[in-house]
Every structure is written in structure tokens, then in C-alpha cells.
Chains A and B, each alone.
Chain A
Amino acid sequence: MAKTHADAAGFRWTALAALGILVLSPVLLILYQSFLTGPFFSPLSRLGLDAYLYIFRDPDFYRALGTTTLFALGTVAVCVPLGAVLAFLITRTDLSGRHWLEGIVLVPMFLSAIVLGFGYTVALGPSGIVTLAFKGVFGDAPWDIYGLPSLILISGITHVPHVYLYASAAMRNLPGDLEEAARSSGAGIWTVARHVTLPLILPALIFSIGLNVMLAFEAFGLPLVLGDPDGVLVLTTYIYKLTTILGVPSYQLMAVVAVVLLAIIFPLVFIQRRLLNRARRFAAIGGKGARVTSIRLGRTGQIVAWLGVGTWLTLAIVMPIGGIAIRAFVDAWGVGVNLFDHLTLGNFQALFQIDTLQRGIINTVLLAVVGGAFAVLAYLMIALAGHRWSGWGNTSLDYMVLMPRALPGLIIGLAFFWIFLFVPFLQPLRLTIFSLLVAYIIVGLSYGLRLIQSTLLQVAPELEEGARSAGATIGQTWRKIVIPIIRPGLLGAWTMIMIIFLREYATGVYLMTQGTEVIGSLIVSLMASGSLDTIAALALISVVMTTGGLLLANRLGGGKIHG
């Protein structure tokens, strides 16, 4: 059928091709590198399975694989019940202050894991402020922040928002009449919760289990900060350690582990997608919107609930952020040190004296604000290319967008580092912030695209058809009708992408050279040298920036938030 003009096919296929190059080149390069015997740029490298053999014979690899699995399961075991209970308390009961809580609960999700991890070490680490205070009173502190159990606990506690988000959405969508029907036929609150509410939100819970398993496999910051000092390696930190294991860059080994991670996470992404569609179907049954009266907790109930919520808030937000905030303004602490004697702004002064750190801050802001705008533009192009497009073109677009979801930021950064080394005309760009921007756009791709696609879907088809029948081409319709209508959604998406880019730390780890420093990656590299003063100042700046981004997002009615 001759309808090329009508369908803007030229634009759609061009966008698809561009996306294909951006998404597939890192994946293919990793695959290719994994089958070489040495780094791809070395003339001595040839095809072979040596790297696989090395990795599959390395006991450390199996230990890391086992640890990662345990870490993932442990995280889920902690965060899913906590998140579900929190969602229940906030959406279904009259918990006092729940409206205020709604906004706060999500905070840990927006902070970079490396910043959070650092926060925990300065608060609860062996010489952390809380630990020291506790020792001062009780003589000894019965916890050790380093090691797998603490890592799992902290990871679980900080991933509660990822469960809360989906569980609360499901609970809000729950048709109130279903519960009321059960209650009017004589069932008590807890019977209703068990037999009606739980089965109905089960899809959302299963979805968040999958999501958190995935996130745990991709986690890098927390394991690096809390696991590494105790010798606990997960797959991502194992890759990080491989960097220098043989004295020369062992790219082929890193590639093999990346392939293993991809092989584990990619199926999860597909299952997730299936589940999400199923969960949506469930939500579509949704009731008439009549709100069920919230369950009254009573005085004792309020106290018990707040004890739980308060403990979680303290552990997940107050401890790490408070720790950072205090640590950033003192130059020393320890047993018997009076903090007030050590109050200083020196930590921040240092930031402005050292070029690298200064550039890191500027780059972070530039990438988030300007880069975020570019990213939104790129996502908009891709979203429009797929907008009301049927056939295999759109299907392949869909799957390509999923691909980066299965790659931890660390690996995407690594792959782009290789690409900027590998492709001759790109080499000069490696030393510029542009290389980071490209990698960031891929890291944020599936999330950002989902934000924009969901706003696009809110434009009723008739609004577009009306323009077409009035004589506008598809391009004119997009420019004059669709984009103006979704402008608020685009602004919202921009703020959300800004927050994601502010938070990102792993992607820049390998891409970091002089000129491409960002706060997160600087913290990662400073971790090794242990200059706590500088890290604390950087971490606080990161927290402040993220808070600013969140406030802005709130102002602009920022898009829906989902992982």
C-alpha cells in the first residue's frame, strides 16, 4: 500500500536505525570482546574462549555469583514485606501524617547508592558518628556495617521505595467495592486483607520482586562501599576488581562477566515486561473509583505503626543523610573528639581549589540539566517514531529499548568507553563530556522513554486524526498538536531524567578522564584513597542537588515515577 508519506516512514526508520546503532553497538562490542583472548585493540588478540575458561575456572567468580544471588534474594526478602506493609499503612489506613510521608518515602530511591553507602559508613561504620555515640553510652556497639548480612539489610531497607511504589499504586487502584462486599458479608479486616486485598495486589508484588532482583544484580555502589572492605564481592564489584587483576587491562574477562550478567538479567527483563502487562490488565478491572473508607488504626495501632515507620525512616533516610551532613562540616571525629571544635567549611573550600572536583560538580550539573534536555529530545524522537506505529518495526524498537535495561550502568559505561576507543572518528570525543552524555542517554533510555510514551498515550487519537483530516501531515500534526499538548509531560520527564542523571555514578567510572569527571564517579575513585573529607562534601552536594531536582519535579508536576 502506498502510504509512505502518510506514515512518516522515513523518519520512523531513521530513528529506529539510530536507536539500533546506539543500543546494539555496546552489546555487540561486549559480546565480541568476550570472545577475544586479549583487549580488542591489541594486535596479539585473537578469537578464542580463553576468557570464558579463565572466568569459569576462577573460584572468585563462583563466589561472586553465589554472593550476588544471596544478596538479591536477601534484598527482596527484606524490602518486599516492608514495602508492602508501608504501602498498606499509607494507602489503606488512617495513619497520621501519611500524606506527608508519601513524599518522603521515595527519597532513598533518588539518591545515588554510592552516596547512600558512604552515608552509612560515616553514620554506622566502625568510627561512625552513631557508633561512637553508642559506644560512649553503652561501651560497645553490637553491629558491624561491613559484610554480607549488613549489606543485605541495608540494601533491603533502601529498596523499600521500589516496592512501595508498585504496591501502593496497586492498592490505590483496588476497587473498594470488592473489599466492602467481603466486609458486608461478615469478614473482618484481616480476613479481607488476606483473602481479597493480597490476591489482588499479588501481581504488583511479584512485579516488584522481579524488579528488585534485577536491581540487586545490577547494584554496584552499596556492595563496593559495604562489601568490599570485608572482601565480599558481587558480580559488578568483581568486574571492577578485574580491571587490574592481571596487571594489564583484562577487558576480555570483564566482558565475559558482563555477558554472564546480561544472560541473567535479560530474561528477567522479559518476564518483568510480561508481568507488567498482566499487572495492567489486573488494574484495568479496577473499580468505580469509589474510595473505601480507610481502616482506623486506633491509638495503639498508630503508635505501633509509627514505631515501625519511624525506625525505617531513621535507618533509610536520617542515618545516611544525617551522617553525610555532619561529616561534611567537620574535619575530624573520633573517640573523645568534640564535633563543635572541628566545625569547618574547609571541606567545601577544597572542592573549589582542586580542578578535578570543580569540574566534576560542573559536569554533573551540565549533564543533568543540559544533557537531560538532550536526552528528553532523543527519547521524544524515539517515542514519536514508535507512536501509533504497528508492525515489526515498532516491535523491534520495543525490544531494543529493553536491552539497556539489562545492562548495569557500570557495563554500559565500560562498553561506551571501548566504543570511544575503538571507533576512530569518535576517539577525540572520549575526552569530552559528550561521551558521558551518550552513555547516560542509553542508561536512562527505557525509563525516559516510558515516561514520554505514557504522556503520548494520553493524547486522544481523535486529536491527531482531527488534525490529519483538517489537512495536516503527520509531521505537522506532531509539531502543532501533539508536542504542544504533551509539553507539561516533557517538562516533567526532563526533571525526572535530571534526577536520574544527577544520581548516576557507575556509568562514569570507566569513562572518567580529565574532563569527564562527575560527582558519583569521583566518589567511587576517591573511595580507594579514603579522603573522607572530600567525599563527604561531594556527597552532600549530590544530596542537595537531588533534593533540588525533586522539588523542581514536584513544582512541574513531574511525570509518574516508576523504576
Chain B
Amino acid sequence: MADLIVENIHMHLGAVHVLQGTSFTAKRGEVVALLGASGSGKTTLLRTVAGLETPSDGHISIGGTPVYDAAKGTMLPPEKRNIGLVFQSYALWPHRTVAENVAFGLMIRGVDKFTIAKRVQEMLDKMGLGHLADRYPFQLSGGQQQRVAICRALVYQPKVILMDEPLSNLDAKLREEARYWIRKLILELELCAVMVTHDQDEALAMADNVLLLKGGTIVQSGTPHDIYSNPRSRYTAEFLGNNNVLDGKIGEQGGQPALVGAGWTITGSTPDGNVSASGNAASAIVRVERTALHDAPGPNRIPVKLDASIYLGNHWEYRLSAPGVALKAQGAVRREPGQVWCELPANNVWIFAEAP
């Protein structure tokens, strides 16, 4: 039984159709990531779940209770939804101490003072914040503030925890740590978590299920591995990872779909199943890390000129060019400029015909 069910949510902001029939579910012990570029509707979707935005159609239930139902006219306010919400800005109340911030949800629920004190302290201790209970938010570092925000959202054991870009205000090192411990915490406490992010690394590292949104609809969803290695559309393929894009015309070679350019042909697959007529414009997308350099021709290799090697610390990046082609590849050593062959392995080449 899913703890969170979101069905066919539509929402309009003025004339803009921000959410166009979005559906997903989430269950305990699972992290769902809503991933998308800005303006994709991911935050709006999260806010409709929280009850901070009113959709125009659809159904949402949390822990088996319908909290929004367009047909029945149900629209529970946020406070009736039993959710925990973590904001990008943390939104800690500046006039309350850490302990008072965390205690708020319990106080509202009429829990007695003694129990509140005990549970708040337990929660803070668990997060390594026990000694900061009497501080005010402005006296804490960014990482500490973020942990307080999570404590505040978890202490009253909500059915669903919603996180809006929870890591974006942390610096890079802290962020990688936070990814790990937040996920661990969610699994440990068997929470049902939904997070919004625009950072694909974050989504891939933290989620069990990634939902990629574009223009208010879910383009693709799946496990991080699945969504990264089996994109079903050009948008998904291009949104994730670091990519080489080749333009050419649709062709065929040895019974396999191929992309034909000026003096080269590479074979691949057509993940979106759109096999249009030969000669139509198309593009091939290959992850940069799958692109290899060779000193001799071979199958699926394109003759290119190595223009430059760029040192990036843990690896070198090669800039390659041929008429109408600009490619990137990676390697461990510096290479001298000159003629090379760039291999795009057939099982890593996704060919997408251009929309007519």
C-alpha cells in the first residue's frame, strides 16, 4: 500500500498550465526525487502535496486519507495533512531556539510538556545537535540549520516528509555528506520521502525512484540506474549526464539504425522507437564517459582532429572536431593534438529522429 498517492494532478497559474496530469506514488522506506529544470513544475507539485497550492483537478491521498479530491471537493489545509516539510531556506523561525523550533509541531498537537522535552532532546541527539538546543537559528552553521529543519519536520512522525531542494544551500563538501546521511536516516526511520531537486547527482545518489519532469508532466520515471542508462526520450537522455550530441541523417547499417554524417556512419539504437524514413534529420546522443579515443579506424569510429587536452584535476578532457562535429572524450593522460579516431560504442549510441 503506497503511503502517498498523487493522481492526475492539474494546476493552472493564470493562463499557464503548470501541472498537466501528473501522477506518482511513494511508500515507506523509499525516497522519490522530483527532478527537473527550473519551471518544470517540480516545486509546484510538491507544494500541492503539502496543501500550499490548490490544484484544479486530480486526487492526492496521504497514508490512506484523501487530502485532495477535485471530484469530491476535498481540500485539506496543510496542518491537517500530517506531513513534514523541509524548505530550501530551512525556514527556521528566528525568534525560537532550536529546541523551540523542533518542539513546535508537538506543541500544536497538544503533547504534554514533559514528553515534548524528551522527544525533542532525543531527536536532536540523534542528529548530533543535542548541545545546540538553546541556541537561536542565526547562531548555527548552514549544515546545522539544515539538520534542525529536518528534526523539526520529523519529530512528530509525519506520514510523509517533503523536502524542497534540501541540499542546495549547503556547500559542495557538506552536500555530499548530507546526501548520504539523509538517505540513511530515511531508510532507518522507514519514512516516506519526496524531494525536489534540480541537481541530477543529488537525485541519482539519494532516490530509489527518480521522476523527471518537463513542462508539468513526468517525462520518465524509474530507478536512478534505469533512468540514466535507458532514457526513453531525447529530453531524458540530454538532461542527465555529460553528453556528446551528433547531428546527421537517419540511415541503416547491417540491419541496425544508424546516423550518417559527412564521411562517417555510426550505428546505435532508437530508444523512443521512432524509426523515421531514411534521410530524415536525426541526432545521436552518447555519454562522454562512453566515448573512447583510438589511433586507428574501426567500427563506429569517426575520424576527428584532437584540438586540445584540458586538465580537469582527476582526468583530462579532449576536445575533438571534424567538419560539422564537435565531441568530447575523457582519459587519464595528456594527448598531443593531431588525427585520432573517436569511438562511439553502438550499444551506447541513442539515435533520436528530429520531430517532423
Interface residues of A (CB under 8 A from B): 1-3, 5-6, 460, 462-463, 465-474, 476, 480-481, 484-485, 487
Bound: A466/B79 CA distance, A: 10
Bound: A270/B189 CA distance, A: 57
Q: Are B79 and A473 in contact (CB under 8 A)?
A: yes
Give the interface centre of B82, B93, B94, B96 by most chain A CB atoms within 10 Å.
B93
Q: Does B105 contact A (CB under 8 A)?
A: yes
Contact of B78 among A462, A469, A481, A487 (CB under 8 A): A469
Chain B residue, CB-CB nearest to A473: B79
Q: Does B150 contact A (CB under 8 A)?
A: no
Q: Does B52 contact A (CB under 8 A)?
A: yes
Query: Which residues does chain B contribute within 8 Å of A469, judged by CB atoms?
Result: 50-52, 78-79, 81, 83-85, 153, 162
Q: Are B105 and A465 in contact (CB under 8 A)?
A: no
Stretch with Cβ within 8 A of A (4 or more), from B21-29, B69-77, B295-303, B319-327: B69-77
Contact of B91 among A2, A5, A466, A473 (CB under 8 A): A466
Q: Are A2 and B75 in contact (CB under 8 A)?
A: yes
Chain A residue, CB-CB nearest to B100: A480
Interface residues of B (CB under 8 A from A): 50-52, 54, 73-75, 77-79, 81-85, 87-89, 91, 93-96, 104-105, 108-109, 152-153, 156, 162
Q: Are A471 and B79 in contact (CB under 8 A)?
A: yes
Contact of B89 among A2, A460, A468, A481 (CB under 8 A): A460
Give the interface centre of B73, B75, B78, B108 by most chain A CB atoms within 10 Å.
B78
Contact of B93 among A3, A471, A481 (CB under 8 A): A481
Query: Which residues does chain A contribute within 8 Å of B94, judged by CB atoms?
Result: 485
**Further pairs besides A469-B51, A472-B79, A485-B93: 17, Cβ < 8 Å:** A1-B75, A2-B75, A6-B78, A460-B91, A463-B91, A465-B50, A465-B91, A466-B85, A468-B52, A469-B83, A470-B84, A470-B108, A470-B152, A472-B108, A473-B79, A481-B93, A484-B95
Query: Which residues does chain A contribute within 8 Å of B84, judged by CB atoms?
Result: 469-470
Bound: A474/B78 CA distance, A: 10
Bound: A472/B103 CA distance, A: 12
Query: Which residues does chain A contribute within 8 Å of B74, judged by CB atoms?
Result: 2
Bound: A253/B236 CA distance, A: 76
Bound: A166/B75 CA distance, A: 45
Q: Are A1 and B95 in contact (CB under 8 A)?
A: no
Query: Which residues does chain A contribute within 8 Å of B52, judged by CB atoms?
Result: 465, 468-469
Query: Which residues does chain A contribute within 8 Å of B89, judged by CB atoms?
Result: 460, 462
Bound: A481/B82 CA distance, A: 19
Bound: A152/B62 CA distance, A: 69
Give the interface centre of A471, A473, A485, A487 by most chain B CB atoms within 10 Å.
A471
Bound: A61/B325 CA distance, A: 84
Q: Are B77 and A468 in contact (CB under 8 A)?
A: yes
> How close is A500's CB to chain B, nearest CB, in angstroms?
28
Query: Which residues does chain A contribute within 8 Å of B93, judged by CB atoms?
Result: 463, 466-467, 481, 485
Query: Which residues does chain B contribute within 8 Å of A3, judged by CB atoms?
Result: 54, 75, 77
> How close is B189's CB to chain A, nearest CB, in angstroms?
17
Q: Given A462-B91, A463-B91, A481-B93, does the pair A471, B73 have CB atoms closer than 8 Å?
A: no
Query: Which residues does chain A contribute within 8 Å of B95, judged by CB atoms?
Result: 484-485, 487
Bound: A473/B91 CA distance, A: 17
Bound: A5/B104 CA distance, A: 20
Bound: A2/B76 CA distance, A: 8
Bound: A485/B104 CA distance, A: 15
Contact of A470 among B54, B73, B105 (CB under 8 A): B105
> How close is B227's CB to chain A, nearest CB, in angstroms?
29
Q: Given A465-B50, A465-B91, A485-B95, does the pair A471, B105 have CB atoms closer than 8 Å?
A: yes
Query: Which residues does chain B contribute within 8 Å of A476, judged by CB atoms?
Result: 79, 108
> How close is B120's CB to chain A, nearest CB, in angstroms?
13
> How close is B119's CB to chain A, nearest CB, in angstroms?
14
Q: Lowest 5 A-B CB distances belong to which pairs? A: A6-B77, A462-B91, A469-B85, A470-B105, A468-B78
List, sorted by A's number, 14 A–B pairs whose CB atoms are closer than 8 Å.
Answer: A2-B73, A3-B54, A3-B75, A468-B77, A468-B79, A469-B162, A471-B82, A471-B105, A471-B156, A472-B108, A473-B79, A476-B79, A476-B108, A485-B93
Bound: A471/B93 CA distance, A: 15
Q: Are A467 and B104 in contact (CB under 8 A)?
A: yes
Query: Which residues does chain B contribute within 8 Å of A487, judged by CB atoms?
Result: 95
Bound: A6/B152 CA distance, A: 22
Query: Which residues does chain A contribute within 8 Å of B81, judged by CB atoms?
Result: 469
> How close is B59's CB to chain A, nearest CB, in angstroms?
14
> How close is A480's CB to chain B, nearest CB, in angstroms?
7
Bound: A487/B96 CA distance, A: 13
Contact of A473 among B50, B77, B88, B156 (CB under 8 A): B77
Bound: A465/B84 CA distance, A: 11
Bound: A53/B172 CA distance, A: 78
Bound: A132/B74 CA distance, A: 81
> How close is B150's CB to chain A, nearest CB, in angstroms?
12
Bound: A462/B43 CA distance, A: 13
Query: Which residues does chain A contribute within 8 Å of B82, judged by CB atoms?
Result: 471
Query: Which residues does chain A contribute within 8 Å of B78, judged by CB atoms?
Result: 6, 465, 468-469
Bound: A373/B95 CA distance, A: 22
Bound: A462/B50 CA distance, A: 12
Query: Which residues does chain B contribute within 8 Å of A474, judged by CB atoms?
Result: 77
Q: Are B87 and A466 in contact (CB under 8 A)?
A: yes
Query: Which residues does chain B contribute within 8 Å of A2, judged by CB atoms?
Result: 73-75
Give the interface centre of B77, B104, B108, B162 by most chain A CB atoms within 10 Å.
B77
Bound: A476/B79 CA distance, A: 10
Q: Are B109 and A465 in contact (CB under 8 A)?
A: no
Give the interface centre of A3, A465, A487 by most chain B CB atoms within 10 Å.
A465
> How close is A461's CB to chain B, nearest CB, in angstroms?
9
Query: Which residues does chain A contribute within 8 Å of B108, judged by CB atoms?
Result: 470-472, 476
Bound: A476/B109 CA distance, A: 12
Chain A residue, CB-CB nearest to B72: A2
